[in-house]
Amino acid sequence: MNSKDPLIQLRDVTKVYGEGPAAVHALRGVDLKIGQGDFVAVMGASGSGKSTCMNILGCLDTPTAGCYAFRDIEVGKLSRDQRALLRRHYLGFVFQSFNLLNRTSALENVELPLVYRGASARKRREAAREALEVVGLRGWETHSPAELSGGQQQRVAIARAIVTRPLVLLADEPTGNLDSERSQEIMQLLKSFNDDLGITILMVTHEPDMASYAKRVVTFIDGLIESDKRIRHQVEAAS
């Protein structure tokens, strides 16, 4: 892969659910390029196609037509097992509902992706402790989700997403269940991963305030990209 090539590229991607008159055209020919180290906020009304696009980018769904390339590899030509390996080794996921296992500790929740990779217990614990420290939860390793606030639970979920050191972090409404102060904390955390660690971030949000943390905002409408704009931050503007 040439350093100038996009990390992710969609070319004329369509997605149709169902057949005949009942068919739903979720994506109608989407073209999108995302470079390594970018931070993209994906916006749009319900039914606009943004979630379908994110599911395809996360290898959770496949296009009906068109091409999805990840590091110059055409994902549509991969088997289900190969797509699962791509997810496991290159992608991290953060969801609005946290998706933590209730009866396990924060440390055990963060270890989970490494269990699927077959890492040893010692390596899992070391990596999970480090990830929890990165998100500001050192000392909370033994607490269960029920013993954590919403913001802390989302931090555990983020630690779980980054414990494998993914190339790309996909976040679906990561602040949707949080108050404004916790939301800003989470967004600062994501921004630091992008700025300091070079993790490419793709984030679905309906909140303009949260999208303002990104470097770029892609807006969907009726299965197409309506706009794709770079954000000029105040710090950049001042420099």
Instruction: Please give the full DSSP string across 164-200, using - where no structure is assigned.
Output: T--SEEEEESTTTTS-HHHHHHHHHHHHHHHHHH--E
Provide the domain count of the chain. 1
What is the sign, positive or negative, of the torsion defined by CA atoms of 112, 113, 118, 120? negative
Question: Residue 20 sits in a domain of what CATH number?
Answer: 3.40.50.300
Q: Is residue 3 part of a domain?
A: no
CB contact at 8 A, 163 and 91: no
Q: Is residue 191 part of a domain?
A: yes
pLDDT at 96: 82
Give the pLDDT of the chain (239 residues) as one tens digit per residue.
Answer: 555 789 999 999 999 999 999 999 999 999 999 999 999 999 999 999 999 999 999 999 999 999 999 999 999 899 999 999 999 999 999 988 888 999 999 999 999 999 988 899 999 999 999 999 999 999 999 999 999 999 999 999 999 999 999 999 999 999 988 999 999 999 999 999 999 999 999 999 999 999 999 999 999 999 999 999 998 865 444 44
Q: Is residue 172 part of a domain?
A: yes
Q: Is residue 49 part of a domain?
A: yes
pLDDT at 2: 58
C-alpha dist (Å) from residue 79 to 56, 74, 75, 107, 168 = 14, 11, 9, 32, 20
Q: Can you list the alpha helix ranges (DSSP code H) found in the chain?
A: 50-57, 80-90, 106-117, 121-134, 150-162, 180-197, 208-211, 234-238
Burial label for 230, CB within 10 Å (0-12, 13-18, 19+), is exposed
Q: Is residue 1 part of a domain?
A: no
Name residue, tokens 């993209």: 40
Burial label for 109, CB within 10 Å (0-12, 13-18, 19+), is buried
pLDDT at 236: 47
Q: Tell me which amino acid residue 169 is.
A: L
Whole-angstrom distance between the N-terminal and C-terminal Cα of the chain? Answer: 32
Q: Tell me which amino acid residue 189 is.
A: L
pLDDT at 3: 56
Quote the domain boundaries for residue 212: 8-238
